[in-house]
Amino acid sequence: MVGRPGPRRVLTEEAILDAALALLDEGGLEAASIRRIAAAVGVAPNAVYTYFPDKAAVLGALVDRFLGTVEYSSARPWRERIRGLAVDVRTRLSAHPAVASLLMSSPMGGPNTLAIGEFLLEALDAGGLAPDAAARASYLVMVYVLGALALEAAEHPDPGPLPPEAERITARREALGVEAPAGDAAETEGPFPRTVAAAPVIADYVSTAQFLWGLDRVLDGIAAS
C-alpha cells in the first residue's frame, strides 16, 4: 500500500528569516547563503528568490526584524529612554552576536529601523537639542552602541551566543593576570606599566557597567552641547 504524501511545507518570509538567523548563529555570515537557507527550510533556492531577490535582501530583512524585537519606552526622562534602548539592544545582540556585524554593514532602512531612529530623535528633542544636533547625536549614540557590541563579539570567534558576562570577565582577568585592584603605573615594571596597572579595569571592558559608563559620557557630552 502506497502511503499518502505528508503535508506540504508552507514557505513564508518568517521561515526564511528564522533559517537565516539559525545559520548565522551556527556559522556566521558565510554560512547564511541562499542555498543553505533553502536547504534548511526544505525548498529549492528559486523558492527563496520568490520572497527575496538576493542574500543582501534576506539579511537586511533579518536586521529589521531583529530591531523590531527591541523594547523601548517614551514614558521616561530622555536619558533613561536612550539607556533603556541601548541596554536592550546589547542584551539581544549578546544572544545573536553575528547580527552585530550585519547592523554595522547592512543598509538600515526598514520600518523597525526607522522607528528606532525616530525614537532616538524624539528622546533627544526632549533633551533640548535642536533638530540638526539631535540628528548628529542619534548617529553618535548608534555608533557607540554598535561599536561596543562589535568589539565584545570580536573576542569570541564562535558566532553563537556570547558566554555570560561574569564568565567573560573572569576569562579576561585570568588572561591579564589580574589579582589586585588597579594600581599605580609608577610601581609596575616592564615596557607597558600603565597597561599593567590598569589591567583590572581593562578586564572589565565587557561588563554592563563599562558599557553604561561609556554611554553616560556620550550622553554627558550631548547634554553639554
| DSSP string over 138-206 | HHHHHHHHHHHHHHHHHT--S-SPPPPHHHHHHHHHHHHT--SS---GGG--SS-HHHHHTHHHHHTTT
Q: Is the model's pLDDT at 2 over the cut of 80?
A: no
Rounded distance between C-alpha atoms, residue 68 and residue 83, angstroms: 17
Mean pLDDT score, 11-31? 93
Q: pLDDT at position 87, please? A: 97
Write the pLDDT tens digit of every residue in 196-206. 889 999 999 99
Q: Is the model's pLDDT at 8 over the cut of 80?
A: no
- Band of pLDDT at residue 123, cut at 50, 70 and 90: very high
Q: Is 95 exposed, middle or buried (0-12, 13-18, 19+ CB in 10 A)?
A: exposed
Q: Is the model's pLDDT at 55 over the cut of 70?
A: yes
Cell 540628528 belongs to residue? 135
- What are the chain's domains? 9-53 (1.10.10.60), 67-155 (1.10.357.10), 165-203 (no CATH)
- Band of pLDDT at residue 98, cut at 50, 70 and 90: confident
Quick one: CA torsion of 165, 222, 142, 110, rounded to 10 degrees? 140
Give the residue, 158 or 130, on which the prediction is more confident: 130
Give the residue, 176 or 35, on which the prediction is more confident: 35
Write the pLDDT tens digit of every residue in 126-143. 999 999 999 999 999 999
Q: Model pTM? A: 0.85
> Which three cell numbers, joined as nine digits, stand for 129?
537639542
What residues contact 124, with CB distance under 8 A and at least 6 apart? 78, 82, 133, 134, 137, 138, 222
What is the pLDDT of the chain when averaged over all its residues?
89
Rounded distance between C-alpha atoms, residue 79 and residue 67, angstroms: 20
Q: Is the model's pLDDT at 154 over the cut of 90?
A: no
